[in-house]
Structure 1
């Protein structure tokens, strides 16, 4: 596998009773890449994200994570390691955004860093850099209700 691959899914299948949510999905995500999972309601988008992140185990197929020296099958990790992987390595942005309305943009972005033990000043400085990289410099002190839908989604 190439050095820049971060996540590689092969032949993912997931059924819920007689309903097939995933039918042989293959996907490769490279380091630094952002992807969008799009489709009609009920087409398996959330199921795919849950399988990729190890929230749900596929009926067949594999998800390999290339974050360390050797690739690791996500579904083979103990629960605590899968939780750590999701918390530290994966990010999901859903259409609604799910921002806390009482916090500013920079506070919403910094919150996971604070929960992971970062100091407020460092967390908010990192959050401001991330916001700037998304074209949101100058909007750090805006609350979600003061942002457009697209801006709020980027903050999320």
Structure 2
């Protein structure tokens, strides 16, 4: 099993939106960065655990956890001419972008803000906390994942 952090702007899709989704499950689509795409396509597997992060929020924070319930498959929004994630270079025969399906695990009672996370020595090497780190899909170590759960009181 691997561990991941997925970023979403809460105005676009929040953990509360995931909670309201049928079976509390959704596809994670619209990723348009090649490194993040490679994680979605090649590395993220069913059963992997996810930290759900609200970016561009006040404050930006880890707000809960989810699990991967379907591993990488072609992002169909890239092939839909009416969708804002449309990419004419992505075809059915040669898909450029990928997505996964996630299911809500839990919403934290208290979001773990970025400033709070930066103070935790055990998270000092976490990708999220690296200066200039902007990937919307990023790996997390098991130790980092467990530390975040502990901070959340779980």
Do they superpose with TM above 0.5?
no
- Higher fraction of helix: 1
- The interval holding the TM-score normalised by the smaller chain is under 0.3
- Higher fraction of strand: 2
TM-score by length of structure 1 reads 0.26
Give the greater-gyration-radius structure (CA): 1
**Higher RCO (CA 8 Å, separation ≥ 6 residues):** 2
TM-score by length of structure 2 reads 0.27
